[in-house]
Amino acid sequence: MKWDPSLDIGIPAIDRQHRELLDHIVSILIDSESRSITESLNFMQGYMQQHFAYEEEMQNKYGYPKIEEHVQSHRDFFFILSQLEDDYRINGEGILLMLRIMQTLINWFLEHIAYQDKLFGDYLKSLDPRPDILTT
């Protein structure tokens, strides 16, 4: 699917991961017939863990002053995911739950990119000298 440049935060490696993540979310939605909710949630969890670990590693490396707030926001995501899993355990699988999962993930993700991740991008751009990560 065509990318929307307004989602870019200006850190190429992280922008690439965001594109991949959103592509995966869309493909889970399109392909929901062939994948169970558990499989989709596990997949999202694994993928997000890697992505968050990378962002947090970079924030550590470049001394990002708002790292604690950012890490907390990543933790919130796993809390939301665990609530959706509980919901699934209690109510079972169904199209409404699948749509709610996707809606929740997409909303969280877009809001997090537009605010938290963008702040980190802006911080890196304010550094002098400009860090290598902005051009690789």
Give the dihedral sign, CA 3/5/9/13.
Answer: positive
Nearest distance, CB of residue 29 and Fe ion, angstroms: 19
- Comparing every residue's Cβ against Fe ion, the nearest one is 117
Paired tokens of 66: 């708002």
Nearest distance, CB of residue 74 and Fe ion, angstroms: 6
Does the bond joining 65 to the residue before it have cis omega, within 30 degrees of 0?
no
What size, in residues, is the chain? 136
Choose between 48 and 98: whose C-beta lies nearer to Fe ion: 48
Nearest distance, CB of residue 10 and Fe ion, angstroms: 13
Nearest distance, CB of residue 97 and Fe ion, angstroms: 25
Choose between 66 and 130: whose C-beta lies nearer to Fe ion: 66
Choose between 86 and 115: whose C-beta lies nearer to Fe ion: 115
User: How far is it, in rounded angstroms, from Cα 10 to Cα 113?
Assistant: 11
Using alpha carbons, select from 59, 89, 88, 63 the residue that is nearest to residue 74.
59
**Are the beta carbons of 55 and 120 closer than 8 angstroms?**
yes
Residue 118 main-chain phi, psi, to 5 deg: -65, -40
Q: Which residues bind Fe ion (CB under 5 A)?
A: 55, 117
Choose between 105 and 117: whose C-beta lies nearer to Fe ion: 117
